[in-house]
Amino acid sequence: MANHGVTFGTKLTHSSTKKVAFSVSDDKKAFELRFDTALAAGVGHPVFDGVEKTASPISTKVYSAVIPATGKNVKTSFVANGFGVTEPGTNTVLILTVNDQHSVAHVTAQRDKAFTVTLAYQAKAVTDIRLTIVVIAERDAAHQGASALVAVTDVGADAALTERKRKRPRA
């Protein structure tokens, strides 16, 4: 099966918020979607702009976008970058969905910590990329004073990099 790869369109056809910057590489093999203020969910009293202090034990945020794309025999990785902090009795989760595939990551950090979540994506053919990111922060009832935060700053893909990795000779 020959790899024809994927090319990404230059504009989003859907974005659930206008507070994002979308850019595509000159060869249209890579894109980056960067949030003006990180997509974030928090419980307790997290210190971060855009996350309200809440007594609720669960907080969620969702972002969705549609990126025009064309390609056959597609193999690439989608990467979400962000940061988070948890305290005992809390949990944070990031769900990254691309078309019919998804990755679920439990983001655990006792202190502010950066993270990267990767979704290895394969498809016979694509006409668009339907991207959804869900961030969840929760706290159990036994730790009512605990706080947690999970925030995604950007998401992207680089099909050219994925192709180069596959073509690298094995040692």
| Residues 18-33, mean pLDDT to the nearest whole number | 96
With a cut of 50, say whether residue 164 has pLDDT above it: no
Q: What's residue 48's pLDDT?
A: 77
Q: What's residue 92's pLDDT?
A: 94
Q: Provide the number of structural domains found in the chain.
A: 1
Q: What's residue 153's pLDDT?
A: 96
The residue behind tokens 């596959």 is 166
- CATH number assigned to the domain comprising residue 32: 2.60.120
Q: Range of 35's domain?
A: 5-167
Q: What's residue 45's pLDDT?
A: 83
With a cut of 60, say whether residue 30 has pLDDT above it: yes
Q: What's residue 151's pLDDT?
A: 94
Rounded-to-integer distance, Cα 166 and Cα 171, Å: 13
With a cut of 50, say whether residue 46 has pLDDT above it: yes
| Residues 92-117, mean pLDDT to the nearest whole number | 88
Q: What is the pLDDT of residues 109-159, one digit of tens each?
A: 666 688 999 999 999 999 999 999 999 999 999 998 899 999 999 999 998
pTM for this structure?
0.88
Rounded-to-integer distance, Cα 103 and Cα 121, Å: 10
